[in-house]
Structure 1
Amino acid sequence: MRILTVEDEREMADLIARGLRADGYVVDVAGDGVEAMAFASDGGYDIAILDVMLPGMSGFELCRWLRRQHSGLAIILLTARDAVDDRVRGLDAGADDYLTKPFEFVELAARLRALSRRDAIGSTRMHVGGLHIDMTRHQISTDSGELRLSRTEFDLLRLLASNVGRVMPRAEILDVIWGSAAYIDPNIVDQYISYVRRKLDTVDAHVRIVTARGVGFELIAMDP
């Protein structure tokens, strides 16, 4: 698995890169957004780890650019800010996860393992309602066109589609998609369900996500 790390603090960048390489990842390090864009233009990355406070181009701006160019890329933001508005801004920019500095490397490693486990869900292709799901290309389309999703939105919808007709408990969704309730606010599940619902409303999906109050969520296929 290839990871692009974007961090302007050299000591922090070296620390992250050494830890990731020790865990078996292939790592490239960029010091700013422009250098990161040059790396990413060649493609081939599975995950990008972005510091928010970068010189010139912010991590939020870089995140939006990466999401437009590489829809299947998983993106984690690193930020010294812990305000709710900053976390929401990062998720809205297309990030899949975030870590607030300072953090322990074991926490970052756990988030990366959670992202890696997502690829084990389901088969290569799947059809549910009007959705055509391509796991290899990380794309979901309908007869009316492609559904533009972030990596986490894709993985969440894919998980629900793999369990169509079954209520998925929030705790199970949190564990599969985000890795551990110890590091993530459980309300993030509801937030991303809302994102996916809004996008499903824009296409002929012929599916809907139903809330099982106090339990979780279920994807139901409907007749065209």
Structure 2
Amino acid sequence: MDDLLDEPPGQLLLVENDSDIADALVTLLSADGYRIDLARDGQRGLHLALHDRYQVIVLDRRLPGIDGMDLVIRLRRRAVAARVLLIGALADPAERVRGLDAGADDYLVKPFDLAELRARVRALSRRRFDAAELIPIGAGRLDLTQRRVRLPDGRQVALSAREFALIRLLATQPTTVHSRGPLRRRVFGADRSPAIVDTYVHYLRRKLGGGVVRTVHGLGYQIGTL
């Protein structure tokens, strides 16, 4: 653990349209050693997040172009694995729950203490996504950077972006049973056919074995084992 904490900070994406806040955060986080890219609207933030690898993404809830909540959903739907800190002006617990359910890893309410923001970014950085970070699925592993599943016999199976997004969501919440509606909204988009979840569960089972996703009758799906 000490070796991990001693590693230099990595690449960070800041998506913030308020110039004063953006300048302050760039100065603050750069002093901590992060290499920062700044986007001032959601569309630019999406473009950068999809074409570069970031350790942490800090983004505002209210953005021009693409709203921050929608941006998180789009990133997770496209299997972007960076940790996301969402910053919002509403202290309503329901708003924070929406942000976390959308795929954010943490939610910070404005006005915030700068020391607290730095601590939250450090905490997210320690849970970095690199080649060594694997999520267990029974005796197998989900490789978060290669978008592959490592089977118990050593074979590796590549996944499509949507297959990866679906199994990642299930694997990172192993005790949760997910109903089809929330899975469809978070992984595929609310406008897609309700049957799309079942279709991609079928794809995963065909590639990885029938036990990789467990059906909880009447409730939904849960990660299984390999």
With the length of structure 2 as denominator, give the TM-score of the two structures.
0.62
Shift in alpha-carbon separation, 1:11–1:85, aligned structure 2, 3 A? same
What does residue range 130-141 of structure 1 map to in structure 2 within 5 Å? 131-134=140-143, 136-137=145-146
Shift in alpha-carbon separation, 1:149–1:48, aligned structure 2, 3 A? farther
CA-to-aligned-CA distance 1:125-164 (integer Å, 9 cap, x gap): 5765264232543665778x7553698976666xxxxxxx
Please point out which of 21, 30, 41 is paired with 1:32: 41
Task: Give the match's secondary structure for 1:82.
Answer: coil
Give 1:18 shift: 0.7
* Residue pair 2:81, 2:144 contacting (<8 A) in 1 also: no
* Residue pair 1:71, 1:151 contacting (<8 A) in 2 also: no
Q: Does 1:5 align with 2:22?
A: no
Give 1:48 shift: 1.0
What does residue range 19-98 of structure 1 map to in structure 2 within 5 Å? 19-98=28-107
Matched with 1:216 is: none
* Residue pair 2:73, 2:103 contacting (<8 A) in 1 also: yes
Please point out which of 151, 156, 165 is paired with 1:148: 165
CA distance in structure 1 between the partners assigned to 2:135 and 2:100 by the alignment:
27
Task: Give the match's secondary structure for 1:110.
Answer: helix
* Residue pair 1:2, 1:46 contacting (<8 A) in 2 also: yes
With the length of structure 1 as denominator, give the TM-score of the two structures.
0.62
Please point out which of 105, 109, 116 is paired with 1:100: 109
CA-to-aligned-CA distance 1:84-106 (integer Å, 9 cap, x gap): 22112111211111100111121
CA distance in structure 1 between the partners assigned to 2:122 and 2:167 by the alignment:
18
CA distance in structure 2 between the partners assigned to 1:23 and 1:54 by the alignment:
25
What residue ranges of structure 1 are gaps of 5+ in the alignment? 158-192, 209-220
CA distance in structure 2 between the partners assigned to 1:100 and 1:89 by the alignment:
13
CA distance in structure 2 between the partners assigned to 1:11 and 1:151 by the alignment:
36
RMSD of aligned residue pairs (Cα, Å) = 3.8
Give 1:13 shift: 0.6
Matched with 2:219 is: none
* Residue pair 1:129, 1:205 contacting (<8 A) in 2 also: no
